[in-house]
Structure 1
Amino acid sequence: MKLKIVQRSGKEVVPGGIEVADGATVADLQAALYKARPKLYPARQRFTLPKKDGEKKPVALAMGKRLSDYDLADGAQLTFKDLGPQIGYSTVFFWEYFGPLVTYSLFYFFPGVFYPSYKIPLKDTIQTLAVAYWVFHYAKRIFETFFVHRFSHGTMPIMNLYKNCGYYWGFAALVAYYINHPLYTPPPHLLSYLLFAFAMFCQASNLYCHILLANLRPPGQTAYVIPRGYAFDYITCANYTFEISGWLAFAFATRTLTAFLFISAGAYQMAVWAKAKHARLRKTFDGKEGREKYPKRWIMLPPIF
């Protein structure tokens, strides 16, 4: 069958349409368009059905589906969007985590480069614990990227690489500058030790939450599943709960304004994601037509949120 592929403007992407087999899948359609337009490799392609009256947004064609699942027949029209240059999730995650690991370490191990006007004193224990915690956190994140996380999408827009790296690398330099400054005054040690111990508990809990999320469904399955186990029995985004709690403990343990700014920015973004995920799960599991009803849970930070 032949399909007409148009841009939002109505201009045909491939004049005359694209020929695919009657039993073709979405992946087959992507391959056919890539063959006709080599610049548009599959990761850049997004197809949607013509928007119907009453719909807030058109239905997007999903990988793993057949075109017949959308009642597409010969002569049907699809809307195409070029998602732009793409880059793999794991590549982006590696660089956005490797950067702050190195950046922070440079301030700790080479203070003479960053504070040339000061006499460099011996490192305080709090500064050493801070760099150890920071490096451990980002090393854990790199480990999770390659051995724990399962990404529902293979790629993202390449501009995300620069945006994400700018955020993580910039905050790493900002936080490290003040914690490793020659004039840094550490807080009471015992309190900081307890806070770092709690922060490490949060790191371990965050890792366990990520393992639970990765094992929710078999590889290749994309349907939503209710998270269960450990803190997920009470909190929708328990992984964010431990992430935020750990960095709050870090901020109080080091008593630096920049550390509080770092966790504030991160917590805001996680709150946006958590609210959207909570709403999506409640909508999916509404208890109607035999579907399970999503249990009552906190979104991210009980008892506040």
Structure 2
Amino acid sequence: MAKISLVVEPRGKPIRGLPKELKIDLDATGEKLHNAIAEASGANVHRLRITKGSDRTVVPNAKDTTVDETGLRNSSVIHVKDLGPQIAWRTVFIIEYLGPLLIPALFLFPLRPFLYFNYDKPLPEPSDIQLLVCGLLSLHFLKREYETIFVHRFSNATMPARNIFKNSAHYWALAGFNIAYWVFRPDSAAASSSPNAILTYAGLALFVFSELANLNAHYILRDLRRPGTTERGIPSGFGFSLVTCPNYMFEILAWLGVFLVSQLNLSVLIFTLVGGVQMWSWAWKKEKRYRRDFGEKYKKKKTVLLAYIC
């Protein structure tokens, strides 16, 4: 296929070595275009975002999209932006989940005398329910780490490094410090020697079911994307006929299970509600994308997060 000449302009701060013009084949992939710009400018390819000058839509760094398919033609203008220092998505997730994986055990054992210094001494030993909640939190985030390393395939290789603090704050603060401090207090409902058995066993059953269902949904989503591509198919299987994102639904149900086991501790509910609002937003965006990308092939969902609710 014929070559075209693209006009290259920086967007934002100047990029040293950025060429003013680039010749490339129309059938070249978006990945090849990004690599050509990176090679010519000496910049890290993951720091670059390329948009069309005509409508500012992003030219994806992908193997399954060609320059011709993006609508670029001879003398088209492309804008190249330096996104700044980047960090791998997989690394971000590992760091995000590491805090709430370690914090509960630290709060419950070595840090306990220092956190609850204003209570009568000696402090009572952690109750069976507090130990159980600590175990559930550890299992949940250990599973998250496993999925990050062995299950998930990421559509983007990196994200801006500065975002790691914002992304980690949600998990470290709300799921780590917040839940651990309030649930493990010597005077919390979870510290009782006679907890509500119905809440405990119902919550434990809900947690186990939801964690396994969530893992199954992640494997289904993983298998929709071929390694090394961003191409996706229409998901189907357990939960996908009910909502757009059953992985989010089962995530919320698992946290409701922890809420029950904790004897209805509000700190768990706060984390669940904050995360649920964010997941609802993501789920609607995904539903809209499925409708746009798959058209009539896709069976539209009325509820995207919680079956028959929202």
Q: Same fold (TM over 0.5)?
A: yes
**What residue number does 1:178 align with?**
182
**What residue number does 1:302 align with?**
307
Q: Give the alignment's TM-score, normalised by structure 1.
A: 0.88
Cα drift, residue 25 of structure 1: 3.9
Aligned length: 296
Cα drift, residue 8 of structure 1: 4.1
**What residue number does 1:162 align with?**
165
**What residue number does 1:113 align with?**
114
One-letter code of the match for 1:63?
A: A
Cα drift, residue 248 of structure 1: 1.4
**What residue number does 2:238 align with?**
230
Q: Confirm whether residue 274 of structure 1 aligns to residue 255 of structure 2.
A: no
Cα drift, residue 20 of structure 1: 4.0
Q: Confirm whether residue 264 of structure 1 aligns to residue 265 of structure 2.
A: no
Unaligned runs of 5+ in 1: none
**What residue number does 1:60 align with?**
59
Q: CA RMSD in A?
A: 2.4
Cα drift, residue 60 of structure 1: 2.4
Distance in 2 (alpha carbons) for counterparts of 1:296 and 1:208: 20
Is the contact between residue 189 and residue 265 of structure 2 (CA under 8 Å) also seen in structure 1?
no
Is the contact between residue 248 and residue 263 of structure 1 (CA under 8 Å) also seen in structure 2?
yes
Is the contact between residue 2 and residue 17 of structure 1 (CA under 8 Å) also seen in structure 2?
no
Cα drift, residue 99 of structure 1: 1.1
Q: Pairwise mapping of residues 1-305 of structure 1 onto structure 2 (< 5 A)?
A: 2-8=5-11, 14=17, 17-22=20-25, 24-38=28-42, 40-52=43-55, 57-64=56-63, 65-70=65-70, 72=72, 75-110=75-110, 111-118=112-119, 119=121, 120-171=123-174, 172-186=176-190, 187-254=195-262, 255-287=264-296, 292-296=297-301, 298-305=303-310
Moved more, 78-87 or 125-134: 78-87
Unaligned runs of 5+ in 2: none
Distance in 2 (alpha carbons) for counterparts of 1:174 and 1:293: 40
Is the contact between residue 44 and residue 85 of structure 1 (CA under 8 Å) also seen in structure 2?
yes
Distance in 1 (alpha carbons) for counterparts of 2:210 and 2:152: 18
Cα drift, residue 21 of structure 1: 4.7
| Aligned partner of residue 232 in structure 1, secondary structure | coil
Is the contact between residue 89 and residue 159 of structure 2 (CA under 8 Å) also seen in structure 1?
yes
Is the contact between residue 62 and residue 229 of structure 2 (CA under 8 Å) also seen in structure 1?
no
Is the contact between residue 49 and residue 61 of structure 1 (CA under 8 Å) also seen in structure 2?
no
Distance in 2 (alpha carbons) for counterparts of 1:283 and 1:74: 28
Cα 1:213–1:16 shift into 2, 3 Å? closer
Cα drift, residue 229 of structure 1: 0.6
| Aligned partner of residue 286 in structure 1, secondary structure | helix
One-letter code of the match for 1:212?
A: I
Q: Give the alignment's TM-score, normalised by structure 2.
A: 0.87
Is the contact between residue 153 and residue 225 of structure 2 (CA under 8 Å) also seen in structure 1?
no
Cα 1:281–1:29 shift into 2, 3 Å? closer
Is the contact between residue 7 and residue 13 of structure 1 (CA under 8 Å) also seen in structure 2?
no
Moved over 6 A (4+): 9-13
Distance in 2 (alpha carbons) for counterparts of 1:18 and 1:96: 41
| Aligned partner of residue 189 in structure 2, secondary structure | coil
Cα 1:144–1:258 shift into 2, 3 Å? same
Report sequence identity in percent.
34
Moved more, 270-279 or 69-78: 69-78
